[in-house]
Structure 1
Amino acid sequence: MERKFQRLDDEHEDKDTVLGFPCSMLKVSDFMKAVKEGLQPVGLDQLRNILNKRGGIPGNFDQWYEQGVNLEFLKPGAKGWKTGKLRIRITLELLPDEPETEEIPASNELGASKLESPLDDLRQMMPKDS
């Protein structure tokens, strides 16, 4: 079975997950905030410079990373151009060295003598002779 990177949700589910690097520890939400702040002016300016030879790109940071930039797009096999918005999303992905396993409740551990049944109480109330 191939192990795959798992997306970390920095706004909800994984926002309080702590990332430990050799030199620091940060919550996923704080790390992503720093990444987004670091890419704001410099990253968009670099992208703009790279694409200037092809006509450049419109919009500012908020448009690209939050609201989306208006555009037209043409997909192969489509009957014509369509309109929409395009935005940049930055994600963190995690690949644990060991796959996560579900914790087994104490009643199901190897040391348990037997599984409990909802009928056990009724069986104890029945006379042994029958």
Structure 2
Amino acid sequence: MEDGFKAIECKDGDVLDFGDNTYKIAKFKQAMYTSFNSTLEDTLNEELIGQGIEIQEPPNMNWFQNGIDCEILTLGSQSWKKGKVKIRISIEFYVEEKDVEITNSKNSEIIEPESSLDDLRRMIHD
């Protein structure tokens, strides 16, 4: 991604903070998927029709879960292939690179604490 951001992988147990509200990634993803399957899907269908793309499917189309039956003709292929088209939306978190650089420079300055074994070694050598 441009603008000095770097994508990092998020796990279901990670937490997002939106000011006064915090959510685990798993809960956030579930809420997004639920939204995709209701109002967003209806809005998508309306927008596609507005753009001249009409899909001949029952009203309960499922772009995000099961996919929509269709066929594809790829370049170089001699025939159509049956399948489904499915829309996947990912949730990504982008760290500002400035923060990453600051963190890395701080980490490089961290000095490891002495081990208790170091004291024993000094006593043996003395």
Q: What TM-score do you get using the length of structure 1 for normalisation?
A: 0.60
Give a deviation string over 1:24-64, Cα, whole Å, max 9, x none: 10000111111122232211111111222322352536x42
Structure 1 match to 2:12? 15
What is the rounded CA distance, in whole Å, between the counterparts of 2:80 and 2:91 in structure 1? 32
More helix by share: 2
Give a deviation string over 1:71-111, Cα, whole Å, max 9, x none: 1012233323111122122211111233486xx9xxxx855
Structure 2 match to 1:119? none
Size of the aligned set, in residue pairs, is 103
CA contact (8 A) 2:13 2:26 kept: yes
% identity of equivalent residues? 24
Determine which structure has greater relative contact order: mean sequence separation of CA pairs < 8 Å that are 6+ residues apart, divided by chain length: 2
Q: How does 1:1-130 map to 2 (within 5 A)?
A: 4-8=6-10, 14-52=11-49, 53-56=52-55, 58=57, 60=60, 63-97=62-96, 98-99=99-100, 110-111=111-112
Q: What TM-score do you get using the length of structure 2 for normalisation?
A: 0.61
Q: CA RMSD in A?
A: 3.2
What is the rounded CA distance, in whole Å, between the counterparts of 2:56 and 2:40 in structure 1? 13
